Structure formats: C-alpha cells, structure tokens
A and B are shown apart, each in its own frame.
Chain A
Amino acid sequence: MATMNLITAIIKPQKLDDVKDALSAKGIHGMTVSEASGFGRQGGHTEVYRGAEVTVRFVPKVRVEILVAATDAAGAIDAIVKAAGTGSIGDGKVWSIPVEEVVRVRTGERGIPAL
C-alpha cells in the first residue's frame, strides 16, 4: 500500500499564484510547474487574422505537480480546487494517483522523508 500520492492539477495560468499560496498555507513547500495546453468542455477559442478565422483548439494552461503523503492528499486537493476556481468554464481538473517510491537525489532518502 503506497503511502504517498502524486497530485496533478491543470489550472488556469492566472490562478497559479493563488494555488501556490494555498498549498504553502497547508505546509506543502515543493511543486513542479509546467506550461501546458489543452481543451475540455470549452473547446478552445477563435482568433481572426485579416478576416480569416483561426480556431485555437488548445488553450494555455498550467500543470502543477506535487508529491504528498497519502494522509495529506485530500486536504491538498481541496486547497487546490478552492484556490483555482473562478466558477467559469475552463477552470481545469485535479487528480491524484498513488506513488510507490520517492527518492531525494541529493541524500538518497526514500519515502516520506524524501518529500
């Protein structure tokens, strides 16, 4: 039984700071952030260049990944959902999966101490 979780959140870029602050308040001090693009129900948007419509199917998003102890996962997810929400379409998704092993590269620590 894994004791750790990987939480991945796809959020609106302008909500990144709010999410970071909310996680810090929960005592979670590490995260990996990458630029992502995609679409969900809102299905992209349309731009116009010299009168020609260009459908931009993939909307810019930010992907946040954090590793947490399994006991902290539910609280972290709640914090992300609360901080990332605007109530409008395209707010994103959050999911969590169990993680078997985590190693801190510098010290070789394993498991919860490596978080």
Chain B
Amino acid sequence: MSEVVLNTGDTAWMLMSCALVLLMTPGLALFYGGMVRAKGVLNMMMMSFISMGIVSILWVLYGYSMAFGKDLGSGLLGDPLEMFGLSAQIAPDSFFGTIPTSVFVAFQAMFAVLTVALVSGAIADRAKFGGWILFVIIWSTLVYFPVAHWVFDFDSGESDPGGWIANQLKAIDFAGGTAVHINAGIAALAAALVLGKRSGFGREGFKPHNLTLVMIGAGLLWFGWFGFNAGSAVASNATAGVTFLNTFVATGAAMLGWLFVERVRDGRPTSLGAASGVVAGLVAITPSCSSVNPLGAVALGAIAGALCALAVGLKYKFGYDDSLDVVGVHLVGGLAGSILVGVFATSDAPAGVNGLLFGGGFDQLNRQVIASFAVLAYSFIVTYLIAKIVDKTVGFRVSPEAEAKGIDLSEHAESAYELGGTRGGAF
C-alpha cells in the first residue's frame, strides 16, 4: 500500500460540503416552518435547530464512534468507546482516504443532525419540546448511529469488517436513501402514531401559513444537497461530478412529476407541489446518484415525484397525522430511490453495477429491497418504543389547551409575527 497523501482539492471540497450539508437543517426548518400554522412556526423551526446543538455533542462523545468505530460483530454496531471524544482523530497524521479524519467526522456529523430533524415534520404543533429533546438523544443513539454504521461504514481492509449493508449485503446507498430517508420517514410514522392526531385533523384543513418560506427552504435544501450527495464521494473527482449532475436533473424531473399529478388530479399546479416535488426528487436521487446515468436520473426523479404526490394522500385514508408528509416524501421517496437503483443502475455510472434494465438481472434489486426493508423494520420498531418511553416519562404531547393556544406560546413563550393590530405594531 502506498503512503497516504493528503489531497488539498479533496479536502477543500469536503470542507465546503460540510457547510453545504449543515445549511440543509436551517433549510428544512424553513421548509417545515412555512407549512404549519402561524402559531406553531417557531416550535417547528426549533425542533430542527435544537438538533444542531444536541447531535453535535453526541457525535463528539460517542456518535461517530458508534457509526464508524471498529465493528463489534456482525456489522451491526461500531464500538462507542473506541473514538470517544475524538481526541485521536484530530492528529495531523490522521487521514480518512485523502482528507483529514476531522473533515470526514464533521461531514458525517451533518447527516446525523439532519436525519433526526426530518422526523419532526410528522409531529408538528403538538410535541412537548422537552419530550422532543429526549427523543433526539435516544433516537440518534439507538437508531441513527447504528443504521449509519450498517450503511456508511465501509470495510477499512484490515481487521474491521464495517457495517453489514455496506460490506456484506453490498446494497448501493450512495448518500443515505436507507440510512437517512427511509429511516427518518418510517420513524416519522411511528412518532405520529404514538403522539396521535392534531386536534381538528380530518375535520378542518390545516393551511400552510407561509408558502414563500417553504419555497426558500426547498431552495436551500436543493443547494445544500449538492454537498450531501456529491460530497459523499469524499473526493473532488468524477464521482462527485456525476453525482452532482444526477442530483440536479433528477430533482428537476421530480418537480415536474409532482406538478403533473397535481395538474391532472387537482386541476392546478401548486407552489407547495413544486417545493415538495423538489424534495421528493432529492430524496430519491440520494441513494442512486452514483449508479445511474443522467437519463436514468431523470426517469427515477420523475417516477419518485409522481409517486410521492400520490402518497401524501395516504394519511387521510389510513387516519395517521403525519403532519408535513415525512412519510409521503421521505419514506416513499427513499424507498423509490433505493429500490430503483436495482432497475436503473448502469455500469457506465461510477458504482459500476448493472440493474434490471441494463442486463444485471434481479441481483442488485434484491439487495436494494433487503437493505430498504431491514432499515424500515428496525427503525419502525425501535422508534415506536422510544416514542412510547418518552411519552410515559417526560410526556411527548402538550395539553389540548396548550395546543389550541398555540405551541409557540405554550412551549417557548414567543409568537413569530407582530404584524400590527392591537397585539403589536404601533400599540
């Protein structure tokens, strides 16, 4: 083996990718915040923001070690104590590939921050803030860190076998269709089931209070997602270029797919549909951006956009209040993107694998399905238990009075807007 050499180009791109991915969390806060009613926007945004505080500390203490530490056996979990506190990882001769280990640690931290924040959209307007904080701590520890190990911890070639999905199953999940989106999407369903519906769900429409925030949020997510996907190359190379391009075109196609469904079903293409289609496309191209060609990315994006547009109606049919459609967008989009790798993958793309359409048969498709449903089952069961525990201990749901008054006032003693009238402005 040749001596590891630091590559400054790779390092520069990865530092930038870290910042891009971090921006996704405030972007998500805007995307979600605009969709709730005016009396709950601050709490909605705080559920995302608080993750940047809590998860970063967990990551330093034991999170990175659980995800990327030496495998404890069977590819299920890294050793939480091996890199506790990350003191060895800041050494000048500590490298991950061609970049300083510290940069890789920071990059992966951003994923952990974002993933739990995604879950919050399912429980808008009714979760106790203290309960959410406890949920963030336990869920990151018991669900995200292990699943990130399964999917993202590749065999280091020595005595460490790494995570089972990455190394034994060899499913392709380039940037987290399973570990991030299926994981957060199904966790959102479990959390929504434990918390129950918002009062008035199904009887009254919950109108988004500010769709311009939603569109700004979707724009920032798209921008940040280039770091999420192309940064997952962990290099400034052709793979980063291909994944960047695929991330762009699949997202555009997904927006059109969503709007097409709306035009046919509801009569009008909507701005909320455009923003949602963008996110659905980003979700679907996340696992698949390294394994498809640009035409495949367009097809995959369009399918995911249309599927998610149809899936957001399921909550009314089945009666669960996934308030901001984390299930419809992240679970369904994550499943579509992860599984369609097995269909649209072509060996021309950096991953070098052929799917069903390119003569690869069902082999890769099977791996994709197994990985998707393994993450789905584990996350659903463990999340359901965690949410129940939070609910039985500190309490997860605010009182009906607090919910009626508005969660911004009851949980934060604030209101988002002073737009004149006797409650503010000139008086």
Contacts and interface: CB of A to CB of B under 8 A. Distances in A.
A49 B313 contact: no
A53 B325 CA distance: 15
A50 B272 contact: yes
B207 A50 contact: no
B410 interface: no
Interface string A55-67: 1100000000000
Contacts, number: 36
A51 B207 contact: no
Interface in B380-422: none
A56 to B, nearest CB: 8
A48 interface: yes
A35 to B, nearest CB: 10
Contact of A51 (B206, B208, B313): B313
Interface of A is mostly: strand
A48 B266 contact: yes
Interface string B296-337: 000000000000010011001000000001001000000000
B379 interface: no
A63 to B, nearest CB: 15
A53 B316 CA distance: 12
Contacts of B265: 51
A47 B312 contact: no
A49 B325 contact: no
Interface in B188-226: 205-208
A52 B317 CA distance: 12
Nearest to B205: A54
Interface string B337-354: 000000000000000000
B312 A50 contact: yes
A49 B35 CA distance: 10
A52 B316 contact: yes
B276 interface: yes
Contacts of B272: 49-50
Interface residues of A, number: 10
Nearest to B267: A48
B160 interface: no
A85 B358 CA distance: 65
Nearest to A56: B207
Contacts of A49: 205, 207-208, 270, 272
A93 to B, nearest CB: 24
A107 B316 CA distance: 62
A51 B208 CA distance: 13
A69 B42 CA distance: 50
Contacts of B273: 50
Nearest to A53: B205
A110 B40 CA distance: 48
Q: Which of B205, B208, B268, B328: most chain A CB closer than 10 A?
A: B205
A51 B205 contact: no
B309 A52 contact: no
Interface in B232-283: 262, 265-268, 270, 272-273, 276
A52 B313 contact: yes
Interface string A14-36: 00000000000000000000000
Nearest to B258: A50
Contacts of A55: 205
A87 to B, nearest CB: 25
Name, among A47, A49, A51, A52, the residue most crowded by chain B CB atoms within 10 Å (CB to CB). Answer: A51
Nearest to B266: A48
For the complex of A and B, 7 pairs with smallest distance between CB atoms: A54-B205, A48-B266, A50-B312, A54-B207, A51-B313, A49-B272, A50-B272
